[in-house]
Amino acid sequence: MKKTGAEIVVECLKREGVEIMFGYPGGVVIPIFHYLFDAPFKFVLSRHEQGAVHAADGYARASGKVGVVIATSGPGATNLVTGIATAYMDSIPLVAITGQVSREMIGNDAFQEADVTGITRPITKHNYLVQDINDLARIIREAFYIASSGRPGPVLIDIPVDISRGETKFVYPETVSIRSYKPVTEGHPRQIEKACKLIENSKRPIVYAGGGVILANASEELRAFVKKTGIPITTTLMGLGAYPETDELSLKMLGMHGTYYANHAVNECDLLIAVGARFDDRVTGKVSDFAPFAQVIHIDIDPSSVQKSVRVDVPIVGDCKNVLREINKLVQPPSIDEWVKYVKEMKQNNPLSYRDSERVIKPQYVVEKIYELTEGKAIICTEVGQNQMWAAQFYKFTEPRTFISSGGLGTMGYGLPAAIGAQFARPDRRVIDIAGDGSIQMNIQELIVAVQHRLPIIIAILNNGFLGMVRQWQELFWGKRYSHTCINCQPDFVKLAEAYGAVGIRVEKKEEVENSIKRALEITDRPILIDFRIDREENVYPIIPAGKSIKEMITSELI
């Protein structure tokens, strides 16, 4: 029996186990939407394509499944670009389906035509322009396989409208074999043995874990490794939750806004065990001064990430879960009692701190109260900027897939739609978007989606009337010349929330913070927006200036 291309798309999504899809309709995807009407999975209509792709991304991060998004040709497809780049930078499994003009019109500047495969080639793991309807089912099958295997990432499928309307016999490929794509998942035994010997002979080792641990579902193996070896551990922004920050061996986050003790421990270690991390510039700072005394073990599934930024002594290409499992069988604990004692003392003597105040609301205090009142069980999404860093620093993450944020690209406007996707993925958990007053306005229209689906997302706006992180850099490095970072004209966020059908709460006094969060947590049938009027010029500390070394860390405004 023959099926149309549009029917094949929906049938393939069903076969791939898709449970939810995000998107926005348009002319050339009407044939696909015709069959989505009766699809056996949920479709969520966003209010902007960027909101749809971020929601699919948030769903993928919270669930561990492939996120799926659809948009029409031209502006619909180009509106996905920022979200696709966001997923690409953080290695998030995503399949984006875009409509395209008819094949005979491609290249003729037809109405709503854009070369989306050309545009997205640098920001996708792979992309397809479907030229033959007989290839459609195979392409969709391959797209899901490529997106979710190896180092995950977004894959785009561009489908001309005449392909969607055409007919062919439907054959679903049960297996995938791509000759040029064979990810290595098992670590080389000899390299694993070398790594174990380095670990056993080390005197000052540190584990440096990244988002790859979470993507590989390797948190249990990582925890078993740390428990067996007794080695202190620090994580990247994307690795938050891979190891419980409440544990005494946790050094929390390292890097530009990482803890004093994590950065100093890395600076003084003699062995750095990097697991699922890519040594990005926000971690290393000045590369020549990064971990200057350390030998480096690097475990990563992507061979192109190994030796890319720093010299590596023992590279192990493979899936973090598999490699750690093998290491855990072989490795013997090193003799590091003095080192662990030293690191613990450094942690105790240099905690994350801020100058509290009864006069104004400190953003760190708000995050601490959110942690306390949710008992650390919420899924925290963030926008980008100071709000993101305060959330990372002052909420204690103990489980994987509970911190959802744009790391590599740093996309403002990410948090709210990502929170929507995360709430769909985890209806059993409370989802909280810790936002800034600038970033939240970039995709505020998605609030109506949360209202429509009665999602009890809490949006905690840390409102300082500034584009806060840019203002902080202007203060510290540009002579306090606040060029266009003061947001003088803002909406009334409470009235805005109410206009959308959400609950709006304004908090202007410290003594109101706790009760406002409690009230929000009691509401379970709609989103809640809390406008926290925080200290306007509070900064994020510590900070290592871009391209500088740990020696130039600024730990406090008092110094």
- pLDDT of res. 557: 74
Q: Is 371 helix (H, G, I), strand (E, B) or coil?
A: helix
Neighbours of 163 (CB within 10 A): 27
Q: How far apart are CA 221 and CA 231, in angstroms?
A: 14
Neighbours of 183 (CB within 10 A): 14
The answer, yes or no, to whether the previous bond of 542 is cis (omega within 30 of 0) is yes
pLDDT in tens, 465-505: 999 999 999 999 999 999 999 998 999 999 999 999 999 99
- pLDDT of res. 559: 43
- pLDDT of res. 556: 85
Kindly give the parts of the chain with pLDDT less than 50.
559
Q: What are phi and psi of 269, to 5 degrees?
A: -70, 155
Neighbouring residues of 64: CB distance < 8 A, sequence distance ≥ 6: 217, 401
- pLDDT of res. 529: 98
Reported pTM:
0.97
DSSP annotation of 544? P
Q: Which residues of 421-442 are buried (b: 16+ CB within 10 A; e: fewer)?
A: bbbbbbeebbbbbbbbbbbbbb
User: What does the H/E/C string look like for 102-129?
Assistant: CHHHCCCCCCCCCCHHHHHHHHCCEEEE
461, 435 Cβ separation under 8 angstroms:
yes
Q: Is 381 helix (H, G, I), strand (E, B) or coil?
A: strand
- pLDDT of res. 255: 96
| Domains and their CATH numbers in the chain | 2-169 (3.40.50.970), 189-349 (3.40.50.1220), 363-540 (3.40.50.970)
- pLDDT of res. 1: 79
- pLDDT of res. 21: 98
Tokens linked to 508: 């202007």
Tokens linked to 125: 């793991």
- pLDDT of res. 488: 84
